[in-house]
């Protein structure tokens, strides 16, 4: 088990002298400005504030229900418990006991199903599934309760870097300065652009339809993935309600053409197609939320740091929601950044200097590359109707199925990869 550094709410605050002085024209100053109040930005703001850094978290908080959830793995849950925020989500979270993967690509050589159970790696659950809007709202409530965080609720308009501070102005004309800006402002990250950090973005010929579902049969805590030629169709278990005792969330990847066709279907017709696609594993399905539609793409950045800037979350990496890696990866960014900044602070160094941020870049490169490449290879190998690729995929699945130590090592790498905190 990797070491879990302590994040104490009683840690000493950063001394005032490390922050830019509050000069005329500035509304406030802080140790860190977090650009973006999505899940990653808010989680970073909370973690940093609990470690004693003063934080300005800039951006609108969007907790509108989008009919989608986030599956967080055990490593992420440990981090959220460590920063003492998991209690905000625990009640509504559904434990994921197992993951079942079914190859539905009709390959020339059959690819066996995979069944990955938590108790194989001595866990009660592999993770938990939480509704996305509840997650964002929970982080926002926690942030609002902490005196060390200022929430601006407004987009940033300009971001300027100088040798000793980063200064921003928001859409309402308020100006803030800090020693470091954490870019958590999504794939098109304005902070990344302002820092001149190059990124390469690409598209996949896929869109995802998401929704929250009610169904007749219980899911038994099992997440079921059907791997089709246009991408996975995944039912992730959700906690039941009085009205719908059996619920799951859907992430269904398909070609844009099929996406347009299914978008035009009414709820009953879509539910019927879904029931057919999922071989009625959960019985009759009804849609119980608005649907979400997401074009699928990927993103890589040249570097994760610059003078007075560090990238996290989708500002730093993006890929399709296969194997539920996105926010899990972002929480590990935050854990590493926190460890890096605490070391810099404890040594009395400038937390925004490139030299102080190097260990963040070093600590995150491998994990990010592994997930971005892994999801890319898996996604393309499912979509490719080419017998040798199917054969390699099939051989891999057979090995994982038959070789217990390999299967357990892969599960641990997916659920609790080694790192500074998770
Ligand atoms: C269908 C789907 C299913 C998924 N399922 C999972 C899953 O099961 N498990 C998992 O781990 N991950 C999952 N993910 C990935 C996960 O949801 C994302 O990684 C996460 O939501 C991204 O968070 P983020 O905060 O980095 O980016 P965003 O959510 O994009 O947030 C960026 C924020 O920056 C703000 N912003 C932009 N410009 C500015 C500006 N100028 N000033 C201030 N703020 C600005 C935006 O308003 C936004 O709030 C899924 C993703 C999708 C699409």
Confidence band, pLDDT 50/70/90 cuts, at residue 1? very low
Q: Up-side HSE of residue 326: CA atoms within 13 Å toward CB?
A: 21
3-class SS at 94?
strand
Which ligand 1 atom sits closest to the C-alpha of 155? 42
Locate 410 and state its tokens: 């892969």
> Is-contact 227 382, C-beta < 8 A?
yes
Pocket flag, ligand 1, residue 151 (CB < 6 Å): no
**Considering the domain boundaries, does residue 285 fall inside one?**
no
- Which pLDDT score, from 0 to 100, does residue 10 have? 39
Give per-residue pLDDT as tens, 265-319: 999 999 999 999 999 999 999 999 889 999 999 999 999 999 999 999 999 999 9
At 196-250, the pLDDT tens digits run 999 999 999 999 999 999 999 999 999 999 988 889 999 999 999 998 999 999 9
Domain span holding position 170: 16-63+132-201+296-384
The reply to whether 230 falls in a domain is no
Q: What is the pLDDT averaged over residues 162-168?
A: 92
The residues with which 105 forms a beta bridge, in sequence order, are none
38 in contact with ligand 1, CB cutoff 6 A: yes
Q: Is the C-beta atom of 127 inside 6 A of ligand 1?
A: no
**Percentage above 90 pLDDT, the chain:** 72
**Helices then strands, each counted (H, E), the chain:** 10, 20
pTM: predicted TM-score of the whole model, two decimal places: 0.92
In a domain, 93, yes or no: no
In a domain, 179, yes or no: yes
In a domain, 235, yes or no: no
Distance (Å) from CA 151 to ligand 1 centroid:
18
Burial class of residue 197 in the structure, from the number of CB atoms within 10 Å of its CB (0-12 exposed, 13-18 middle, 19+ buried): buried
Ligand 1 centre to CA of 184 (Å) is 9
pLDDT, residue 108, reads 67
Q: Which of 68, 304, 327 to mutate for ligand 1's pocket (most ligand atoms within 8 Å of CB)?
A: 327
Distance CA 140, CA 56 (A): 13
35 lines ligand 1 (CB under 6 A): yes
Does ligand 1 have an atom closer than 6 angstroms to the CB of 111? no
Pairing type for strands 28-35 and 55-58 reads parallel
Would 263 be classed as within a structural domain?
Answer: no
Ligand 1 center from residue 273 Cα (angstroms): 28
CATH at residue 151 = 3.50.50.60
In this predicted structure, what is the pLDDT of residue 398?
72
| 366 within a domain of the structure (yes/no) | yes
Ligand 1 centre distance from Cα of residue 40 (Å): 7
Are 122 and 68 in contact, with CB atoms under 8 Å apart? no
Testing ligand 1's pocket by substitution, the residue of 314, 319, 414 carrying the most ligand atoms inside 8 A of its CB is: 314
**Mean pLDDT of all residues in 134-162:** 97
pLDDT in tens, 86-96: 999 999 999 99
Nearest-atom index, ligand 1, CA of 236: 8
Q: How many structural domains are present in the chain?
A: 1
Asked whether residue 405 is assigned to any structural domain, the reply reads no
Residue of 64, 70, 131, 332 to test ligand 1 pocket, by largest number of atoms within 8 Å of CB: 70
CB 67 within 8 A of CB 294: no
């Amino acid at each position: 088990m990797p070491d879990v550094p302590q994040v104490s709410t009683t840690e000493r605050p950063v001394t005032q002298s490390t922050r830019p002085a509050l000069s005329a024209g500035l509304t406030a100053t802080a140790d860190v400005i977090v650009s973006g109040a999505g899940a990653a930005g808010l989680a970073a703001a909370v973690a940093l504030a609990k470690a004693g850094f003063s934080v300005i978290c800039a951006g609108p908080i969007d907790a509108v229900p989008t009919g989608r959830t986030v599956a967080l793995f055990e490593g992420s849950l440990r981090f959220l418990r460590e920063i003492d925020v998991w209690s905000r989500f625990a009640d509504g979270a559904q434990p994921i006991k197992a993951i079942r993967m079914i190859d539905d690509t009709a390959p020339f050589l059959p690819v066996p199903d995979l069944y990955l159970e938590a108790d194989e790696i001595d866990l009660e659950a592999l993770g938990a599934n939480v509704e996305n809007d509840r997650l964002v709202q929970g982080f926002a409530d926690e942030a609002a309760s902490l005196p060390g965080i200022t929430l601006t609720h407004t987009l940033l308009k300009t971001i300027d870097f100088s040798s000793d501070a980063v200064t921003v102005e928001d859409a309402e004309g308020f100006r803030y300065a800090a020693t470091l800006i954490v870019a958590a402002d999504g794939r098109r990250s304005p902070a990344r652009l302002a820092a001149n950090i190059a990124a390469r973005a690409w598209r996949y010929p896929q869109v995802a339809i998401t929704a929250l579902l009610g169904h007749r049969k219980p899911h038994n805590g099992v997440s079921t993935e059907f791997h089709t030629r246009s991408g996975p169709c995944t039912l992730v278990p959700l906690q039941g309600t009085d009205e719908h005792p059996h619920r799951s969330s859907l992430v269904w990847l398909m070609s844009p053409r099929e996406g347009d066709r299914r978008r035009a279907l009414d709820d009953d017709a879509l539910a019927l197609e879904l029931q057919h696609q999922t071989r009625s594993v959960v019985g009759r399905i009804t849609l119980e939320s608005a649907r979400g539609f997401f074009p699928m793409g990927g993103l890589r950045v040249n570097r994760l740091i610059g003078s007075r800037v560090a990238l996290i979350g989708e500002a730093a990496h993006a890929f399709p929601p296969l194997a539920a890696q996105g926010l899990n990866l972002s929480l590990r960014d935050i854990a590493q950044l926190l460890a890096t900044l605490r070391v810099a602070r404890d040594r009395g160094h400038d937390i925004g200097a490139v030299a102080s941020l190097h260990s963040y870049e070093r600590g995150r490169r491998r994990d990010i590359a592994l997930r971005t490449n892994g999801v890319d290879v898996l996604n393309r190998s499912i979509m490719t109707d080419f017998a040798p690729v199917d054969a390699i995929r099939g051989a891999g699945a057979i090995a994982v199925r038959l070789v217990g130590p390999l299967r357990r090592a892969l599960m641990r790498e997916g659920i609790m990869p080694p790192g500074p905190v998770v």
